[in-house]
Chains A and B, each alone.
Chain A
C-alpha cells in the first residue's frame, strides 16, 4: 500500500475539511477540465453552479474542488476515508450529451480506447486511475461524465451539454445520498 503521510500542520490548512470532520464520511466532489476549452470545462462549470447554490453549506460533509487540469494531483487530494465524485468530460462511447456514472475502482483494466477522458490533464484520468491501482491506493471514486460536443478553444459550453448540468447535479446528490 502506498501512503503519503501528510505533515501534521497541513491539516490546519484544510479549514473546510476540518469543520466537517464530525459529520462522517467526507465526499469530495472534484470538477476537472479547462473552462477555456469549450465543453472540456463542464466539470468546472458544475462546481461553479454547486458553489452558487451554497451546496457545501447545506451539505456539511461535502467539499467542492475546482480541480482545473491537474491530473496527477488527484492522488494527493484524496484520502482512503474519502468518497470522491469526479465530474469530467468523458467518452465511453455514449451519445453526445449523455451522462454516464461508474465506479472507477470497479474497473479492472482501464482501456483508453473505451474510456477516454477528454480533459487536457497532465496525466489523464485513466492514467491516474491506473497509477493509483499500481500503487495499491484504496480509492472510492465515482465518475460522472458527459460526452462533449466540442473540445477546442472557446469560453462557451455547447447548449446540448449545458442543459445537462441539472442532471449531473442530480447524480451528485443521488451519490451522496440526499
Chain B
C-alpha cells in the first residue's frame, strides 16, 4: 500500500452535496478520518413552531420518503402524550401493523438494492439484474407487498394520510384484512429463497463492540412503542430521553454527534436485534441462526442480515396482528379517541427502519407548537460510524486505495444512512498525494 492515502468521497448526498467521507493518511498514520453529513431536522424544527397540533405529523412525514411512517408516528405520539390522548387498542394494533411494513419497505430497499450490490461485487442494482435477477425480482415483490400493506392501512404507499392524532380516519374492511393476510403468507417462498442467497454472501470479518440503543418492550419486538434500552445496562422511559442521550456540535460537521454512556452508540436493526432478540418470531430466530447472526453481534456489516431477519419477523408478527384484530372484531367506534387540547410537552419515540427516532414537542394553550426537537437515527449513528472507521482502517490499510475506498463505503452503507440512495452512487474523488 502507499504510505500516503487521501480519499475524498464527496458528495455523499448527490443533490445537496453535504455529505463527505475524508480519509487522509500520511506516512501510514491516520491524520484525518471523518464523515460529514448535515443536520436536516433543524429546518423542520423551525417549521413546526407555530403550527396547529394536527399539522406536524403530515409535515414531518415529508422529511423522508423512506421513513414517512416513522416520522408520522413519532409526531403523533409526541402530540398524544402532550394532550394525554389515549388511542384504542385497535388503533395501536393498526399502527404496529403499518410500521412493520415501512420497516419491510425500507429494509428490502436497503438489503436487496443498496447493500446487495456490495456483496455481489457489482457497482449497483442495474448490473445485478443481469448477474442475480432473482434477487431483484424477489425485492420488487416484497416491496410491492409492503407498499400494499401501507397503502391499504395508511391510504397511500408513502406519506400515509388516514393515520392521525387520536386514531384513524378510516380502517380496512374485513375483506381487506383477509386479503392482507393472504398476501403476507404468499411472501414466505421468497423469504426462503432469499435466505439461501444471503447465506452464500461473505461478510467482512470485523468486530467492534459498542453501545447499542433501541426501544424495548415486554411483549413486542419494539418498533412502534417501548422504553429506551441501552446494551450498557440501563432502560428509561422515552419521555426521559434527555437524561441519557446527549448531543454535541462537532467541529467538522454541521450535524450534531450523539453520545450516551460512552462516546458513541449504534441504533438500527443490529441494535434492535441485540437488545430484543428474545422477542423475535421463531422463524426469524431460525433465519438469524442460518445466517450466522448471533446475539449479541458486534459486526456492523451484519446489520444488513439483521434487517433481513426483521423482514421475516415483521411478516410473521403482522399475520398475528391481523388475527388478533379480526378475533376482536373491527370496531368503527374505536377508530378515534377523544382529543382535549391543552398546553404541555410530549415525546414520541419510535423505531424508524434505521434506528431510534425521537420527536419532542411543546404545545401552548391553543394547541400550537411552541418548541420542537427532532433527533434522527442517522445523526445518532454519526459518531459510531467514525469510531468504526477508526477501528476498521488499520485492518485494511495494506489494501489498495480502491479497495480501501470500497470497504469504507461499504461500512458506511451497512448503517443504511438516511441518504443511502445517494451513497450508493457516490461521486468519488481519489487523490494521491
Contact = CB atoms under 8 A, between A and B. Distances in A.
B47 A131 contact: no
B43 A153 contact: yes
A169 B23 CA distance: 48
Interface in B299-317: none
Interface in A34-83: 34-36, 40, 66, 68-73, 75-76
A135 B126 CA distance: 9
A151 B143 contact: no
B64 interface: yes
Contacts, number: 102
Contacts of A151: 15-16
A2 interface: yes
Interface string A101-138: 00000000000100000111111100100110011000
A7 B183 CA distance: 7
B148 interface: yes
B281 to A, nearest CB: 23
Contacts of B130: 134
Contacts of A10: 148
A65 to B, nearest CB: 9
B97 to A, nearest CB: 16
Interface string A9-44: 110110000000000000000000011100010000
Interface in B147-198: 147-148, 151-152, 156-159, 175-176, 179, 182-183, 186
Given A34-B62, A36-B44, A76 B143 contact: yes
A12 to B, nearest CB: 8
Contacts of B420: 122
A40 B14 CA distance: 14
B421 A122 contact: yes
A130 B126 contact: yes
Contacts of A130: 126
Contacts of B147: 73, 76
Contact of B144 (A4, A12, A36): A4
Interface residues of B, number: 45
Given A13-B176, A36-B44, A121 B65 contact: yes
Interface residues of A, number: 39
Interface string B91-118: 0000000000000000001000100000
A4 to B, nearest CB: 6
A155 interface: yes
B64 A69 contact: yes
A6 B113 CA distance: 21
A34 B63 CA distance: 8
B140 A123 contact: no
Given A72-B113, A76-B143, A76-B147, A122 B125 contact: no
A7 B178 CA distance: 13
B129 interface: yes
A152 interface: yes
B109 A72 contact: yes
A159 B140 CA distance: 39
A118 B176 CA distance: 37
A68 B16 contact: no
Contact of B68 (A68, A121, A134): A68
B88 interface: no
B177 to A, nearest CB: 11
B119 interface: no
A121 B421 contact: yes
B129 A135 contact: yes
B47 A36 contact: yes
B159 A68 contact: yes
A66 B130 CA distance: 31
A7 B182 contact: yes
B136 A135 contact: yes
B158 A127 contact: no
Given A73-B158, A122-B420, 8 more contacts: A9-B175, A36-B44, A36-B47, A66-B156, A69-B65, A69-B66, A135-B136, A151-B16
Q: What 9 A-B pairs have minimum CB-CB distances, sorted nearest first?
A: A69-B65, A153-B43, A134-B129, A9-B179, A122-B421, A68-B158, A70-B158, A70-B65, A76-B144
20 contacts: A2-B137, A4-B140, A34-B62, A36-B43, A36-B59, A66-B156, A68-B65, A72-B109, A75-B140, A76-B140, A76-B147, A112-B425, A119-B15, A121-B421, A122-B420, A124-B421, A127-B126, A131-B126, A134-B129, A153-B43
